[in-house]
Amino acid sequence: MSPSLTPPISISNRSTLTRYAWLSIGAAIATIILKTSAYLLTGSVGLLSDAVESLVNLAGALMALWMLTIAARPPDEEHMFGHSKAEYFASGVEGMLILIAAAAIAFAAVERLFKPQPLVQVGIGLIVSIIASVINFIVSRILMRAGKTNNSITLEADAQHLMTDVWTSVGVIAGVALVAVTGWLRLDPIIALIVAANIVWTGVQLMRRSVAGLMDSSLPPLEQESIERVMADYRTKGVEFHALRTRQAAARRFVTVHMLVPGEWTVHDAHHVAEDFEHDVIKVLGEANVVTHLEPIEDEISMNDIHIDRANESID
């Protein structure tokens, strides 16, 4: 059995990702100040809902910083496969925080729906809110790019949350502007309720993705297809495969497969082919731990191993 681990971005260097969490924290503090000011200037419950979501952004960014720090720790005696799954806790907690924010927004909006209040200094309030939205948009793009490049679900979740905040702000700004033009005061809380429904969807999606990661879901179809293409190349060399299993733990991918080789091959030759295969899989996946199990292709009991693997898996 031959494991390999040569990621393009080493786990030890992943501690540098915390700088993006600090960027998110700075953006959250700035937008909290700006959006709270916009609410105080106008009295708009829609802008209040926007400010509440920025508080959630700050809590999420702090959680991201904590989890990224833990995930960057190297493997130890108690965590032989590393700490990368800590990132799923960050995205899961952020999803829950989004749902809490949605509930708070909805509560304030329903109260204002029955007791509408006029808005004041709308122009200045909207300008302040627009500045906050631009900050969130820029930071979101930076975090998403870093998240995809480094396979960090934490940064991607934070980026998605910030983009949700941006779209929320766009809706709120449009709603407040319409209130100022039409004088229909109940439009302000209606917009806030729509905002709450939108961020509930985002929160649910983040939590579902976190649960899938913690449950050791298989790699995405496109990545599994990449593995299949590598195996197809090696089948032309007289090698067969079965019992392929994959899972992902944030930045780390784990692949195990049984490799069937001709019985006349020496252990030395078969081992070198297995090593080449493992490195080729790592090339297409990036950061991955690939384990192959060598078997003689002529032995009929070799084909029964997949049932053994599944049985052991269910016992665990």
Per-residue pLDDT at 131 exceeds 60: yes
Provide the token pair at 246.
């994959």
Per-residue pLDDT at 316 exceeds 80: no
pLDDT in tens, 135-154: 989 999 998 888 888 777 77
Provide the token pair at 311.
């049985």
- Report yes or no: 152 and 69 within 8 Å, Cβ to Cβ: no
Q: Percent of the chain having pLDDT more than 70?
A: 84
- The larger pLDDT score, comparing residue 187 to residue 49, is at 187
- The pLDDT value recorded for residue 137 is 92
d(CA 24, CA 58): 8
d(CA 109, CA 105): 6
pLDDT band at 230 (very low <50, low <70, confident <90, very high): very high
- The pLDDT value recorded for residue 276 is 93
Task: Give which of 150, 157, 173 is closest to 56, Cα–Cα.
Answer: 157
d(CA 285, CA 247): 12
Long-range CB pairs of 229-236 (<8 Å, 24+ gap) are 229/284, 230/277, 230/280, 230/281, 230/284, 231/257, 231/277, 233/280, 234/259, 234/273, 234/277
- Average pLDDT of the chain, as a whole number: 78
- The larger pLDDT score, comparing residue 14 to residue 194, is at 194
pLDDT band at 228 (very low <50, low <70, confident <90, very high): very high
d(CA 85, CA 90): 9
- The pLDDT value recorded for residue 124 is 80
Domains of the chain, first to last: 2-214 (1.20.1510.10), 221-315 (3.30.70.1350)
Q: Which letter, b or e, does each residue of 115-138 get, where b requires 16 or more Cβ atoms within 10 Å of its Cβ?
A: eeeebeebeebbebbeebbebbbe
Upper half-sphere CA count for residue 265 (Cβ side, 13 Å): 20
What integer is the mean pLDDT of 250-272?
A: 87
- Report yes or no: 97 and 259 within 8 Å, Cβ to Cβ: no
Upper half-sphere CA count for residue 142 (Cβ side, 13 Å): 14
- The pLDDT value recorded for residue 206 is 73
d(CA 316, CA 247): 15
What integer is the mean pLDDT of 31-51?
A: 80
Task: Give which of 244, 254, 246 is closest to 75, Cα–Cα.
Answer: 254
